[in-house]
């Protein structure tokens, strides 16, 4: 089965026999518990909804299929997935090498929460695989990559870094939120585990907070599955239904997000008030060649720096009519934000500057509206004042 077919059908096959009604859309199983005929035999394998739920099960099958993984697991948020994963695979004293440019909340989880449990983190500019190699220590168990990164759209070579990790017996995890499996398949390139904030493109309509893990190693899956239940950061059946519904249109949405982002990036690149644009689809992007090799599209995210003062940037943002000034990304509506003040404000200023996130950086999540309207909105906001 190809991608768009899987996105619609896997996990949601109509049940025509037994007790089935032939539903073509998965039922939302709200029941928190499941009665059994015999005390030692859960009905159809279901006991309690934190442990397993039929609607979540349908979503988990779909998630696995999209990344060509053996297993998929759904969580209550992207960060819940990340925390559960690291607490499942690592123990006190283990070390992680992570790319330096990460979603601010991921970095906060690592340095403010998980550090207190004896996990160590080293952040490196992973665009150069030698930096990853140099970051590895005798206790390194895991490499964490975000490519393209949030918010600077930096890329790293998954294949090359996964090989370095394998030499050292470390697991490679890729946060594939920005590209989605439609444009990038980290597992095919040697990574061991993929994580997602399904809040973003997978759901695609800015009405669910969710997370996902996809992997093929049975041992690792068992540990994460155990802690999905033991820690309990599970999504509601209604949220699972919404993500399943959102995924059905992922391929056509991603094409349009990418088309619009490409047009916006080109428009901004030639605007005199714009100092620089970060978008992997631009030939000026330092990793454009890697982007063409590693991804099958360039995605809907971009960031840029304005030459203006922070007051002027504030005024520019307030003049926008169609773009909403908001955190998050990956929904059908276009969003714009200033990472230093919003999504990445939890990173101390000195570290933020060292990574390259300047106060004048602006990030766009291109929606799927008509591109003429989006460019016109940016144009009037840039020209105004």
Q: Using CB under 6 A, list all residues that contact ligand P1T.
A: 77-79, 103, 105-106, 146, 150, 175, 177, 197, 199, 209, 211, 327-329, 343
**290 closest CA partner among 156, 381, 196, 107:** 156
Instruction: Write the DSSP string, 202-254.
Output: TT-SS----EEEEE--HHHHHHHHHHHHHH--PPPHHHHHHHHHHHTTHHHHH
Active site residue 62: no
**Rounded Cα–Cα distance for residues 325 and 314 (Å):** 10
Q: Which is nearer to ligand P1T, 131 or 177 (CB)?
A: 177
Q: 369 vs 219, 220, 255, 372, 374, CA distance in Å?
A: 44, 41, 12, 9, 7
Q: Exactly one of 100, 157, 175, 377 is catalytic; which is it? A: 175
Nearest approach in angstroms of CB 293 to ligand P1T is 21
Active site residue 263: no
Q: Exactly one of 56, 107, 200, 287 is catalytic; which is it? A: 200
**Rounded Cα–Cα distance for residues 122 and 126 (Å):** 11
Q: 240 vs 10, 43, 73, 228, 358, CA distance in Å?
A: 14, 21, 11, 15, 37
Q: Exactly one of 103, 182, 201, 241 is catalytic; which is it? A: 103
Q: Which is nearer to ligand P1T, 197 or 260 (CB)?
A: 197
Active site residue 245: no
Count CB-CB contacts under 10 A for residue 249. Answer: 17
Give the single-character DSSP code of 56.
Answer: H
Nearest approach in angstroms of CB 151 to ligand P1T is 7
Closest residue to ligand P1T: CB criterion? 78
Q: Which is nearer to ligand P1T, 78 or 135 (CB)?
A: 78
- Count, residues in the chain: 385
Q: Which is nearer to ligand P1T, 88 or 199 (CB)?
A: 199
Nearest approach in angstroms of CB 364 to ligand P1T is 11
Nearest approach in angstroms of CB 258 to ligand P1T is 17
Q: Which is nearer to ligand P1T, 170 or 357 (CB)?
A: 357
Active site residue 23: no
Nearest approach in angstroms of CB 77 to ligand P1T is 3
Annotated catalytic residues are 50, 103, 175, 200
């Amino acid at each position: 089965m190809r991608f768009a077919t899987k996105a619609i059908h896997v996990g949601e096959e109509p049940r025509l026999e037994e007790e089935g009604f032939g539903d073509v859309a998965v039922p939302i199983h709200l029941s928190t518990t499941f009665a059994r005929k015999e005390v030692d035999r859960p009905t159809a394998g279901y006991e309690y909804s934190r442990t397993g739920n039929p609607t979540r099960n349908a979503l988990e099958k779909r998630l696995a299929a999209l990344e060509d993984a053996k297993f998929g697991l759904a969580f209550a948020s992207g960060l819940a997935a990340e925390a559960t994963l690291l607490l499942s695979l690592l123990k006190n004293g283990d070390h992680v090498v992570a790319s330096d440019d990460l979603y601010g909340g991921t970095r906060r989880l690592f340095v403010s929460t998980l550090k207190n449990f004896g996990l160590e983190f080293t952040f490196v500019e992973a665009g150069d695989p030698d930096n990853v190699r140099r970051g590895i220590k005798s206790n390194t168990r895991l490499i964490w990559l975000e490519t393209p990164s949030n918010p600077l759209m930096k890329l790293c070579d998954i294949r090359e870094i996964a090989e370095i990790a394998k030499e050292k017996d470390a697991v490679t995890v890729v946060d594939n939120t920005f590209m989605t499996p439609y444009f990038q398949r980290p597992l095919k390139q040697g990574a061991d585990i993929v994580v997602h904030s399904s809040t973003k493109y997978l759901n695609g309509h800015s009405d669910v907070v969710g997370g996902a893990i996809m992997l093929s190693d049975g041992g690792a899956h068992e540990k994460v599955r155990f802690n999905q239940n033991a820690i309990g950061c599970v999504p509601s059946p209604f949220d699972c239904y919404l993500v399943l519904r959102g995924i059905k249109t992922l391929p056509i949405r991603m094409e349009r997000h990418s088309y619009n982002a490409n047009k916006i990036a080109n428009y901004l690149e030639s605007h005199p008030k714009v100092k620089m644009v970060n978008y992997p689809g631009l030939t000026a992007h330092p990793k454009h060649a890697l982007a063409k090799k590693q991804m099958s599209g360039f995605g809907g995210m971009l960031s840029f720096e304005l030459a203006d003062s922070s007051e002027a940037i504030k005024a520019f943002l307030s003049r926008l009519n169609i773009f909403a000034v908001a955190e998050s990304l990956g929904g059908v509506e276009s969003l714009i934000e200033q990472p230093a003040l919003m999504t990445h404000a939890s990173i101390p200023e000195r570290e933020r500057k060292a990574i390259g996130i300047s106060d004048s950086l602006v990030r766009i999540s291109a929606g799927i509206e008509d591109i003429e309207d989006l460019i016109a909105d940016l144009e009037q906001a840039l020209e105004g004042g």
